[in-house]
Amino acid sequence: MEENIDEQLLINARIDTNSDIDIRTQILRIAVYDEFKAYETYTKIIEKFGLVQPFVNIKEAEAIHYAALIQLMQRYNIEVPINNWASKIEIPNTLIECCEMGVAAEINNIAMYNNLLSYTIDADIKDTLFKLQAASFNNHLPAFRNCVINHYNIENTSNISQENIIEKLGEYQVILDDIMSGNIDENSISQIFSKLNLSMVSGAVLGGAVIALLNNYISKKDKKEEE
């Protein structure tokens, strides 16, 4: 498998101020490499499960995203990284796990753009990054979140108890806190989601609670940025 010279930087998806690579190059190469990852991930999910939503629509959006970034790279004469994600990506065995992985991926994508934007000076690059981040926040994350909620809405609710709800919401809160603090990556959160025994907690109760927790996560992150 062919690798990029700055492979580790691209995988870390964060600016390295100690790198010999200039910041503008880091910003655009990291961003497009992450969009490549999303595109290849959703492509593989479609290959495995068929033309399922929201993956079909979001895959098309990711292609538009990386095309916009490549256009900027051409403008600034920056080499586009090798898209070698196809051989790296492993797809879960169930569609619900894929949706949970999508939630994790979009949260991490939003956090990545926060990091890149904090170092961005060029107005055209900043405008593009803001638009791509907004698409993740306003469109992709809600779509995957709804996918997860809808799955558990149709599960059997006969075993729901207040204790189960509190326990499972606590597990979600720990995951989101770890994401916000940077102590967990996309692969880790996907594995944790897949291990949660959420079949006991479903319907509107879980749906509303998960939305509240995710909104709380975003709210905390926004306040932190304003400080």
Q: What's the confidence (pLDDT) of residue 195?
A: 44
* Cα–Cα dist 218/133, whole Å: 13
For residue 183, give Cα distances in angstroms to 9, 108, 186, 224.
18, 12, 10, 16
Q: Is 53 inside a domain boundary?
A: yes
* Cα–Cα dist 105/83, whole Å: 17
127-147 pLDDT, tens digit per residue, is 999 999 988 888 888 888 888
- 3-state SS class at 119: coil
Tokens of 197: 């025994």
Helix (H), strand (E) at residue 216: helix 203-226
What's the whole-number mean pLDDT along residues 158-168?
49
Q: What's the confidence (pLDDT) of residue 205?
A: 38
- 3-state SS class at 17: coil
Task: Give the CATH number of the domain where residue 70 resides.
Answer: 1.20.1260.10
Q: Is 2 inside a domain boundary?
A: no
| Higher-scoring residue by pLDDT: 54, 162 | 54
pLDDT at residue 72 is higher than 90: yes
- CA dihedral in degrees (183, 187, 189, 192; nearest 10)? -120
pLDDT at residue 162 is higher than 80: no
Q: Judge whether 145 and 213 are in contact, CB under 8 Å.
A: no
pLDDT at residue 6 is higher than 50: yes
| Higher-scoring residue by pLDDT: 158, 42 | 42
* Cα–Cα dist 57/55, whole Å: 6
User: Sorting pLDDT into bands at 50, 70 and 90, what band is 70?
Assistant: very high
Q: What's the confidence (pLDDT) of residue 201?
A: 35
Domain count, the chain: 1
Range of the domain at 40: 7-226
What's the whole-number mean pLDDT along residues 64-80?
94
Q: Which amino acid is at 70?
A: I
102-111 pLDDT, tens digit per residue, is 888 888 888 8
Q: Judge whether 58 and 37 are in contact, CB under 8 Å.
A: no
Closest CA to 148 of 217, 185, 199: 199
User: Sorting pLDDT into bands at 50, 70 and 90, what band is 165?
Assistant: very low
Q: State the alpha helices, DSSP H only, in 118-202.
A: 123-135, 141-153, 162-181, 186-195
Q: Is 111 inside a domain boundary?
A: yes
State the number of CA atoms in the 13 A half-sphere of 140 facing the CB: 30
What's the whole-number mean pLDDT along residues 48-68?
90
Q: What's the confidence (pLDDT) of residue 206?
A: 42
